[in-house]
Amino acid sequence: MKRLKLIALFLFSALTLQVSAQQKKYAMVIHGGAGTILKKNMSPEMEAAYIAVLTQALQAGYAQIKAGKTSMDAVEATIHVMENDPHFNAGKGAVFTHDGKNELDAAIMDGKTLMAGSVAGVTTIKNPISAARAVMEKSEHVMMVGAGAEQFAKEVGLEIVDPKYFWTKERWNGLQKAIKEDSTKAVLDHGSKKSELLGSKNHDYKFGTVGCVALDKAGNLAAGTSTGGMTNKKYGRVGDAPIIGAGTYCNNETAGISCTGWGEFYIRNVVAKTISDLMEYKSLSVAEASKIVLDKVGKMGGDGGLIALDKNGNVAMPFNTEGMYRGTITTDGKIEVSIYK
Summarize as ranges the residues that interact with a copy of itself (CB under 8 A): 114-116, 120-121, 138-149, 151-152, 155-156, 193-194, 197-199, 234-239, 243-246, 249, 263-264, 267-270, 273-274, 277-278, 281-282, 300
For 5, 98, 230, the CA distances from 233, given in Å and listed in that order, are 65, 5, 5
Q: How do beta strands 304-310 and 255-261 pair? A: antiparallel
How many residues appear in the chain?
Answer: 341
Rounded Cα distance, 185 and 230, in Å: 18
In the bound state with a copy of itself, the residue whose beta carbon lies nearer, of 249 and 325, is: 249
CB of 121 to a copy of itself, least distance (A): 6
The rounded Cα 103 to chain-centroid distance in angstroms is: 17
CB of 3 or CB of 193, closer to a copy of itself: 193
- Closest CB to a copy of itself among 47 and 280? 280
Which residue in the list 209, 231, 254, 260 is annotated as catalytic? Answer: 209
* Cα separation, 247 vs 270, whole angstroms: 8
Closest CA to 327 of 227, 211, 241, 205: 211
Contacts for 312 with CB less than 8 Å, ≥ 6 apart: 25
Closest contact distance (angstroms) between CB of 210 and a copy of itself is 20
Measured from the CB atom, the residue of 141 and 177 that comes closer to a copy of itself is: 141
CB of 285 to a copy of itself, least distance (A): 15
How far apart, in whole angstroms, are the C-alpha atoms of residue 209 and residue 133?
Answer: 17
The nearest distance, CB 300 to a copy of itself, in angstroms, is 7
Active site residue 209: yes
| Catalytically annotated residues | 209
